[in-house]
A and B are shown apart, each in its own frame.
Chain A
Amino acid sequence: MAIDYTEKIPNNVDLASNKTLQRALEHWQPEFLHWWGDMGPEGTSQADVYLRTAISVEPKGWAHFDYVKMPDYRWGIFLTPAEAGRKVNFGAHKGEPAWQEVPGEYRSNLRRLIVTQGDTEPASVEQQRHLGATCPSLYDLRNLFQVNVEEGRHLWAMVYLLHAYFGRDGREEAEALLQRRSGDADNPRILGAFNEKTPDWLSFFMFTFFTDRDGKYQLCSLAESGFDPLARTCRFMLTEEAHHMFVGESGIGRVVQRSCEAMVQQKTDEPAKIRALGVIDLPTVQRYLNFHFSVTMDLFGADVSSNAATFYSTGLKGRFDETKINDDHLLAGAVYPVLEIRDGRLVTSEAPALNALNEKLRDDYIRDAAAGVERWNKVIEKSGVPFRLTVPHKAFNRKIGPLAAARIDPDGNVVSAAEWAANVDRWLPSAADRAFVASLMGRVADPGRFANWIAPPARGINNQPLEFEYVRFN
């Protein structure tokens, strides 16, 4: 069904036929725009950005590119078309028709899931709002803004569900989503990773590669939900999420390509010499990788969790690719390996699979992230440089859950406080590392030019050339 852009709020949920809901959302809309003006990308309200919007949810209408000022971007509500006869595919209600309304006893759990997901969207915009000042190219600046407006749209997606299905509680939560602030001492965002700073573009690319990928896995789990509107909302968000991961994957790929180029040209692998060339040495890239990977590990929640069991059994949140898994979709007697610290050592034990669903999702994620890291390694290999990036052990640098009690190195060994202190600057970005990366960040805003520390991409956006004016400053 085509999206009606003549409406104040573009949508394919026939908003016009529900006047109460339409009014409520039109009341929230100016508050959203106010939030965007305060916390959106800094100093950009007048810039014309070559952005993609969806004209319809069908593939042919999915990508319409044009210049738009971001405050004028037509944020809207898009769900994938309903699948006739869809069932709840897992848990106690397996086989029943999927719900089109919220079952009363699951209200607060569902609301919590939606609010937690929704909170991450404006959070990342807040974290990234200063990056425009140090963009490495107009192409990258556009990509940053595309990610930002889409996170704004994802917020809309969650707020629609809150308004449509959760009454006054939903409206209050929707307001609160605009009041929390990333990194704020008094009113921070809900999840730890979203209160961290994103100080430079290397962090931004790592964030969109690793942390947006957690987003992908959470959305995939929610897209399995027995609550059909949630499933359909998340399904559509996944196509936008794919682009965010592309920004991160290609961003790091291009950084690594440029660094290898410089290393081969100058015939050196000494970080100090490489840094002197104004590019980022690979060990620094590895440390940033370690940091963002470990911070994202914590986003999946406790590895043994009764909440996870409840969400699954009640049919609210499924496993990744639930319908493709060949089992009973009940997990009653099943077990799943989880890690714990016993006698100062990291050991694997078996936990009930229902309780270990967060861990399973974490493991699915790790496979996907590791495959991406291998693609970076192909770039390095092609250049002839004998270095390989690695994914650290999932227990490394954890701050949440039982693994936080110990110190574990990137290889998965428990180490003493002294060993940790002696080595942490090899494993995680030091203040000096961050200062060095910050020193490279400078604004490059001429069409076709790219900062020295990052290679140009293989192709432009929407088949435009690299020197296309992706952002026009007025």
Chain B
Amino acid sequence: MSDPTFPAIEVLRQHLIDPEICIRCNTCEETCPVGAVTHDSRNYVVDAAKCNFCNDCISPCPTGAIDNWRQVNKATPYTLAEQLTWDSLPAQGELDAGAATEMPTDVVRITTVATAGQGGDAFPPWSAAHPYLNLYSIAKPAIATVSGNFRLTADGASSDIRHILLDFGGAAFPVLEGQTIGILPPGLDPNGKPHHLRLYSVASPRDGERPRYNNLSLTVKRVTEDHDDRPIAGVASNYLCDLRKGDEVKVVGPYGATFLMPNHPGSSLLMVCTGTGSAPMRAMTERRRRRMALKEGGTLMLFFGARSEGELPYFGPLLKLPKDFIDINFAFSRVPGEPKQYVQDRIRARAADVARLLDDKDCYIYICGLKGMEQGVDEAFRDACRGAGQDWDALLPELRAQGRYHVETY
């Protein structure tokens, strides 16, 4: 695996007031419990040394001017003197990368297995945003607070899949759709060593599960059986599924420099997933949904497999998305009285549309879910191409080279 440069600096999510929309009403200064907000005759400013990210000032601010954050080097935040001279907020800059640090071996190991389906490392889409990588190490993890834990699967479903919200408070944890984070479960394994980290794809877009909040969401299935259906209790999955609001979680990462979405107008997404593999798809779909009004074009097509409706995470919300926004194809494999359907069956049923998308140089393909789906999907793509007079085996290497084919399976 290639060895990108990782920044070693600590990143601060600095709280700043936008002087262009601030109306100098003084509400924030009055509200702040630690006196971090002051003003002169020109501007209201926030002292990075005092601000403790309590967010008390956010709601009362009538303009939202104080709901602004910039990622800065913790050692050199914007000073009060600088802020007092501003007529507008500086744009979010790139942070200088410091000396490289090691990627945890666990991450290397897991990622190698996960990306085998795409032929190892791929290129990201040319218009992908630049990902932050490895900001928090096992030695110095970020501490996130659980702000929500909701069951996604129906009561009585065979699997307990949860939507878990993690809030990072003041710690900068910038993630992109498609990236993963590492969770460090507390306690020791049977050998007396700290548990290995587990990787989870983020299920929320880059501006937060709640827009402009420093939080993200995960889609986690409680593991109660191993791959051979023998009963076990997955350490990380049970830890996460049992979390309560207010609990603190150690998080490392973020990781993932290639399973990223395109950002150029007119780019399309062809997404294939099963179960919790829907997390990155949700992130990408939600990113697009929040930008619908910008009319950037491109189409979204989703193939989503699960045992039944009740076992399919986000089933309800998916039904609410407009049909002209996303073309959804469910595949249910365990509905009593119905034939088993897998994502590859649905792909074949939509062969013509799928082939058109595979051929579209602005369409990007993402596959995420159980390892078992890889082969079936591969064959279905081959069949779809054949029907359109294309050669999948010639197309696939091109897709990889163009950063248009991304696989993450487990």
Interface residues of A (CB under 8 A from B): 58-60, 62-63, 216, 238-239, 242-243, 245-246, 249-250, 368, 371-372, 375, 378, 448, 458-459, 463, 465-467
Which B1-39 residues sit within 8 Å CB-CB of chain A?
20-21, 23-27, 31
B293 with A59: CB separation less than 8 A: no
Q: Is the CB of B23 within 8 A of A245?
A: yes
Residue contact A467 to B60, C-beta cutoff 8 Å: no
Taken together as a complex, chains A and B put the C-alpha atoms of A216 and B212 apart, in Å, by: 30
Cβ of B64 within 8 Å of any chain A Cβ, yes or no, is yes
Closest to B56 in A: A59
Once the chains bind, are B293 and A246 in contact (CB under 8 Å)?
Answer: no
- 22 A-B pairs within 8 Å (CB atoms) are namely A59-B57, A60-B59, A63-B60, A239-B27, A239-B31, A242-B23, A242-B25, A242-B26, A242-B27, A242-B62, A245-B62, A246-B62, A249-B23, A372-B23, A372-B24, A375-B23, A448-B293, A458-B21, A463-B67, A463-B211, A465-B290, A466-B293
CB distance from B197 to the nearest CB of A (A): 32
Say whether B27 contacts A371, CB under 8 Å.
no
Q: Which residues of B contact A375 (CB under 8 A)?
A: 23
Per a CB cutoff under 8 Å, which of A239, A458, A466 touches B60? A239
- Closest Cβ of chain A to B29, distance in Å, is 11
Contact residue among B41, B60, B290 (Cβ-Cβ distance under 8 Å from A59): B60
Q: Which residues does chain A contribute within 8 Å of B67, judged by CB atoms?
A: 463
8 residue pairs, one from A and one from B, having the closest CB atoms: A59-B56, A246-B62, A63-B59, A242-B25, A243-B62, A62-B59, A242-B62, A242-B27
B189 within 8 Å of A (CB atoms): no
Chain B residues bordering chain A, tally (CB within 8 A): 25
Q: A245-B23, A372-B23 are in contact. Are A459 and B64 (CB under 8 A)?
A: yes
Report the bound CA distance from A249 to B55 in whole Å: 24
Q: How far, in angstroms, from A465 to B25 measured CA to CA in the complex?
A: 24
Task: Chain B residues near A448: list those with CB within 8 A.
Answer: 293
| B25 proximity list for chain A (CB < 8 A) | 216, 242, 245-246
Closest beta carbon of chain A to B108's beta carbon, Å: 38
- Complex CA–CA separation, A245 to B24 (angstroms): 10
Q: Once the chains bind, are A59 and B59 in contact (CB under 8 Å)?
A: yes
**B32, chain A: closest CB distance, angstroms:** 9
Question: Which of B24, B62, B64, B210 has the largest count of A CB atoms less than 10 A from its CB?
Answer: B62
**Is B375 an interface residue when CB atoms closer than 8 A count as contact?**
no
**Nearest CB of chain B from residue A361's CB, rounded to whole Å:** 16
Cβ of B127 within 8 Å of any chain A Cβ, yes or no, is no
A463 and B211 alpha carbons, distance in the complex (Å): 7
Instruction: Judge whether B31 and A246 touch: CB under 8 Å.
Output: no
Closest residue of B by beta carbon distance from A216: B25
- List chain A residues, Cβ under 8 A from B62: 242-243, 245-246
Q: Kindly list chain A residues whose C-beta atoms are within 8 Å of the C-beta of B158.
A: none
B398 at the interface (CB under 8 A from A): no
> Residue of A at shortest CB range from B212?
A463
Instruction: Tell me which residues across on chain A come within 8 A of B247, comparing CB atoms.
Output: none
- Chain A residues in 8 Å Cβ range of B211: 463
Would you give the shortest CB distance from B74 to chain A, in whole angstroms? 26
Known: A242-B60, A243-B62. 16 other contacts (CB 8 A): A59-B31, A59-B56, A59-B57, A59-B58, A60-B59, A62-B60, A63-B60, A242-B23, A242-B62, A245-B62, A246-B23, A249-B23, A250-B23, A371-B24, A458-B21, A466-B293
Instruction: Point out the residues of chain A lying under 8 angstroms from B23, CB to CB.
Output: 242, 245-246, 249-250, 372, 375
Which one, B21, B26, B56, contacts A60 given CB within 8 A?
Answer: B56
Known: A59-B31, A242-B23, A242-B25. A378 touches B87 (CB 8 A): yes
CB distance from A320 to the nearest CB of B (A): 11
Q: For the complex, is B52 an interface residue (Cβ under 8 Å from A)?
A: no
Residues of B within 8 A of A378 (CB): 20, 87
Residues of B252-308 at the interface with A, using a CB-CB cut-off of 8 Å, are 290, 293
CA separation between A216 and B25, bound complex, in Å? 10
Scan B367-405; emit 1 where CB is below 8 A from any A CB, else 0.
Answer: 000000000000000000000000000000000000000
Is B63 located at the chain interface by the 8 A CB criterion?
A: yes
Min distance, Cβ B246 to any Cβ of chain A, angstroms: 14
**Cα of A242 to Cα of B57 in the assembled complex, Å:** 13
Bound Cα distance A246, B63 (Å): 6
A368 to B24, CA, bound (A): 9
Nearest CB in chain A to that of B23: its residue = A249
State A59–B31 Cα separation when bound (angstroms).
Answer: 7
**For residue A216, which residues in chain B have a CB less than 8 angstroms away from its CB?**
25
**Residues of chain A contacted by B26 (CB below 8 angstroms):** 242
The CA of A287 and the CA of B176, in the complex, are separated in Å by 50
A153 to chain B, nearest CB (A): 15
Contact present for B293 and A467 (CB under 8 Å)? yes
A239 to B59, CA, bound (A): 10
Interface of chain B residues 53 through 73 with chain A (CB within 8 A): 55-60, 62-64, 67
* List of A residues within 8 angstroms of B210 by Cβ: 463
Q: How far is the CA of A448 from the CA of B210 in the complex (A)?
A: 21
Q: How far is the CB of A350 from chain B (nearest CB, A)?
A: 26
CB closest chain-A residue, reference B211: A463
| Residues in B whose Cβ lies below 8 Å from that of A63 | 59-60
- Complex CA–CA separation, A63 to B58 (angstroms): 9
With a cutoff of 8 Å between Cβ atoms, the chain B residues found around residue A463 in the complex are 64, 67, 210-212
